[in-house]
Chains A and B, each alone.
Chain A
Amino acid sequence: MKTLYELKKNEKTKVKTLHSRGVIRERLVSFGIVRDAEIEVKNCNFSKDNIEISVNGTFIALRSEEAKSIEVI
């Protein structure tokens, strides 16, 4: 399983499955992070604990834990 966290900067791909449940999942979904959504890694911070992704022209910051729960193609 390849997750969002393993992507390199400026790498583009599509979302395969969301492995988180409940509120976190709903929040991700409300930002348009759903199956087949195009997703791109934009930046990460100094400690690599957080990454920034772009979905549908929206920039979203995630923690590594959340990024690891998003499976990509």
Chain B
Amino acid sequence: MIKNNIIRVAVVGQPNVGKSMLINSLSNSNLKVGNFSGVTVEKIEARTVFNGFEIVFIDLPGSYSLKDYTIDEKVTTQFLDSDEYDIILNVIDSTQLEKNLYLTSQLLELNKKMVLILNIIDDSEARGIFIDSIQLSKLLGIRVEKSSAKTGKGRDDILNSLILSARENFIESKLQFSQPIEEELENISKFLVSINRDGSRRESLKLLRGKKIDRELAPILVSASKHLEVHYADLSIDEIFSEERIAIANGIAREVSKMTITKNRNLTEQIDEILIHQLYGLPIFLFLMWLLFQITFELGSIPMNLIDSVVASFGEYIGNYILNNEMRSLIVDGIISGVGAVLLFLPNILILFFGISLLETTGYMSRVAFLLDGFFHRFGLHGKSFIPLVTGFGCSIPAYMSARTLKSERDRLITMFIIGFMSCGAKLPVYVLFISAFFSSDEAGNILFGLYLIGAILGLIGAKILRKFIFKGEDEPFIMELPTYRLPTWKLVWHTVYIQALMYLKKAGTFILVASILIWFASNYPKIETANLIENNISKTEIKKFELENSYLGLAGKIVQPVFEPLGFDWQLTVSLFTGIAAKEVVVATLGVLYSVGDEVDETSESLIKKLQESIPLATAMAFLIFVMIYMPCFAASIVFVRETGKKIYYLYLLVFTTITAYISAFITYLIFTKI
């Protein structure tokens, strides 16, 4: 029966039933993390050994029902239909028996061995809900165990039940639908037997539900559906079955559970009176967000600076031992600084995901969507788009990753397409440089704020346009549970943060490293003979300028420059746009080199500011700022974008979308400023 004493367990449950926690406590956290094929939904496998059996748990994404309503549900349904597993472990929230049994009734239809876990049992008992698990087990025809993942209660019982069920023969479920459906099932079954075919309940159900097309049975099926239509007032067969299921769930829940105390206003309701209050809800949320971003980017900058200086001094140290110039440049400027670039974002990602997983595990994230959906929906976005978008003001990489909280593919894609409009931290030096060059210090603050605002507004308009022309279709409905507030469990929060960090380092990390080396190569090669320049007493800055100008990157910039002629960009500005692809703050250093001021400049460099004032008119400067604000994300962000969207073609769309928007906006800016 059981191959090599390995039991594969598909763990299924609705969202917020404490599934991950349960797996954690069942398996002692022996985790393997991957993705479900073709989608960016995490696949977590955990294993444990018990009584000589190796039990493998596959954590399927939380699903309210087996419908392709969200990516998560699609993945779960597909896995259950076509992957290999021995037994289903259906985890349910004891405090919401009826709603959870809806999914259970669908799972029973799959005709797989199954064990049911009444999770969070301590909570429901504390609320005065007592569930007769023996009766429930009889009604469903499967083993039922009570559990509290918080206290680890019931661990051995669950593992035992899994092993016992896996070794037993499968018994078909005894769930009964209402009279008209049962009658029709019997009719179909009888007919099937009479023509010497499989007349099992399972087969009849499939036929009645229209999951299988069959000419031989067409007449009997037509009469069946006519009969049902009479009973169910013109509902479709799927609609009928969904009502049947909730009726079954309701019936079972009533039969097995007893409420002993009258329901007083529970804690969740009291908290929600404040947290999603019509007036205070938003300010409280904005304050929490402000706090999260302060911590992410302020606190995060400490380890970031540390990583930066450690990587730099490590590079210098290693560099001293490498005699060959080109080798040294490759290792120090290419590989080591590439690794540095990967590590640099890690503190941000860790802190942000710590915060986000707190918001999610406590149940607050759904409230966020509730509070903001009204505003964001007008732009074709979702309430939950807020967090990725605001994260975008810090850095696009964690922003793209945090878009995972959006369950609808379309909402997620639109959100990801406009994250770049939220000016990230690396664009700030560019803004500051140009603003201090062209505006007085009294105006600077307003102009800077204006730039951020314009970016955000353009982003929202962009979202609306994408929604209207690219990601078309009916609006997805917004029917979302606001789960009971729960205290976060540190184990689970740590687990989430750890997995995010691991995925980032493993997948994005390697690509970012390769990309950094490529950019290093493009800006350092082909090597130009500079010996005679040095002899002719030409300054070091001039040589650097000469080298960059003739590198592949510089050449590319020069070739493309005519395209930017209408915006007034000279070749220096164009080349800096190219180097800016490596990282936006590199634009400043490049301009320093190309305007012959040296590469040791930052945005406050007096000589560079002066040079800019002399070399370019205001209109060009403003157009350049707008272009930098919108054009393609840096390489590292691009790689994360591709990984998170799961399709390379979307990156192409992103390039086209951002480049065209950037060009048009910059051109309009240029026209406006040449007129005044």
User: Are A60 and B479 also in contact (CB < 8 A) when A45-B374, A46-B374 are?
Assistant: yes
> Is B269's beta carbon under 8 Å from chain A?
yes
* Residue interface mask B260-285, A partner, CB < 8 A = 1: 00010000110011001111011000
Q: How many residues of A contact B (CB 8 A)?
A: 35
Kindly list chain A residues whose C-beta atoms are within 8 Å of the C-beta of B268. 59
Residue pair A46, B246 in contact (C-beta under 8 Å): no
Residue pair A29, B481 in contact (C-beta under 8 Å): no
User: Are A23 and B69 also in contact (CB < 8 A) when A32-B250, A46-B371, A47-B375 are?
Assistant: yes
Kindly list chain A residues whose C-beta atoms are within 8 Å of the C-beta of B96. 56-58
Residue pair A30, B102 in contact (C-beta under 8 Å): yes
Q: How far is the CB of B10 from the nearest CB of chain A, in Å?
A: 20
User: Are A43 and B272 also in contact (CB < 8 A) when A30-B245, A56-B99 are?
Assistant: yes
Taken together as a complex, chains A and B put the C-alpha atoms of A60 and B246 apart, in Å, by: 16
Residue pair B479, A32 in contact (C-beta under 8 Å): no
Taken together as a complex, chains A and B put the C-alpha atoms of A62 and B366 apart, in Å, by: 12
Residue pair B482, A52 in contact (C-beta under 8 Å): yes
> Is B43's beta carbon under 8 Å from chain A?
no
Point out the residue from B236, B242, B372, B480 that lies within 8 Å of A60, measured CB to CB. Answer: B480
User: Are A59 and B482 also in contact (CB < 8 A) when A22-B236, A27-B69, A42-B272 are?
Assistant: yes
Point out the residue from B247, B263, B281 that lies within 8 Å of A57, measured CB to CB. Answer: B263
Residue pair A30, B374 in contact (C-beta under 8 Å): no
* Residue interface mask B216-249, A partner, CB < 8 A = 1: 0000000000000000000010110011011100
Residue of B nearest to A49 (CB): B374
Residue pair B278, A43 in contact (C-beta under 8 Å): yes
Point out the residue from A23, A31, A54 that lies within 8 Å of B67, measured CB to CB. Answer: A23
Kindly list chain A residues whose C-beta atoms are within 8 Å of the C-beta of B374. 45-50
Kindly list chain B residues whose C-beta atoms are within 8 Å of the C-beta of A22. 236, 238-239
Q: How far is the CB of A36 from the nearest CB of chain B, in Å?
A: 10
Interface centre among B272, B479, B482 (most CB of A within 10 A): B479
Q: How far is the CB of B537 from the nearest CB of chain A, in Å?
A: 68
CB contacts between A and B, total, < 8 Å = 128
Residue pair B99, A25 in contact (C-beta under 8 Å): no
Chain A interface mostly: mixed
Taken together as a complex, chains A and B put the C-alpha atoms of A43 and B270 apart, in Å, by: 12
Residue pair A50, B478 in contact (C-beta under 8 Å): yes
Taken together as a complex, chains A and B put the C-alpha atoms of A21 and B371 apart, in Å, by: 26
> Is B38's beta carbon under 8 Å from chain A?
no
> Interface range on chain B: under 10, 10 to 19, 20 to 34, or 35 or more?
35 or more
Kindly list chain A residues whose C-beta atoms are within 8 Å of the C-beta of B67. 23, 26-27
Q: How far is the CB of B368 from the nearest CB of chain A, in Å?
A: 11
Residue pair A26, B481 in contact (C-beta under 8 Å): no
Point out the residue from B69, B250, B373, B484 that lies within 8 Å of A45, measured CB to CB. Answer: B373
Taken together as a complex, chains A and B put the C-alpha atoms of A44 and B277 apart, in Å, by: 8
Point out the residue from A24, A34, A45, A61 that lies within 8 Å of B246, measured CB to CB. Answer: A34
Point out the residue from B243, B282, B369 that lies within 8 Å of A61, measured CB to CB. Answer: B369
Residue of B nearest to A47 (CB): B374
Taken together as a complex, chains A and B put the C-alpha atoms of A27 and B369 apart, in Å, by: 18
* Residue interface mask B361-378, A partner, CB < 8 A = 1: 000001001111111010
- In B476-490, which residues have CB < 8 Å from any A CB? 477-484
Residue pair B245, A52 in contact (C-beta under 8 Å): no
> Is A63's beta carbon under 8 Å from chain B?
yes
Q: How far is the CB of A6 from the nearest CB of chain B, in Å?
A: 17
Q: How far is the CB of B371 from the nearest CB of chain A, in Å?
A: 5
Kindly list chain B residues whose C-beta atoms are within 8 Å of the C-beta of A23. 67, 69, 477
Residue pair A26, B242 in contact (C-beta under 8 Å): yes
Kindly list chain A residues whose C-beta atoms are within 8 Å of the C-beta of B269. 42, 54
Q: How far is the CB of B287 from the nearest CB of chain A, in Å?
A: 15
Taken together as a complex, chains A and B put the C-alpha atoms of A47 and B377 apart, in Å, by: 11
Taken together as a complex, chains A and B put the C-alpha atoms of A58 and B276 apart, in Å, by: 16
Q: How far is the CB of A17 from the nearest CB of chain B, in Å?
A: 9
Residue pair B236, A46 in contact (C-beta under 8 Å): no
User: Are A61 and B480 also in contact (CB < 8 A) when A25-B242, A34-B243 are?
Assistant: yes
Q: How far is the CB of A64 from the nearest CB of chain B, in Å?
A: 9
- The residues of B with any CB-CB pair to A shorter than 8 Å are 64-65, 67, 69, 95-96, 98-99, 102-103, 236, 238-239, 242-243, 245-247, 250, 263, 268-269, 272-273, 276-279, 281-282, 366, 369-375, 377, 383, 475, 477-484
A-B contact list, 18 entries, CB within 8 Å? A22-B238, A23-B477, A26-B242, A27-B64, A29-B239, A31-B99, A43-B276, A43-B277, A44-B278, A45-B373, A45-B374, A46-B279, A49-B374, A50-B374, A52-B370, A59-B483, A65-B475, A66-B478
Ranked 5 nearest A-B pairs via Cβ: A49-B374, A47-B374, A59-B482, A26-B242, A63-B478
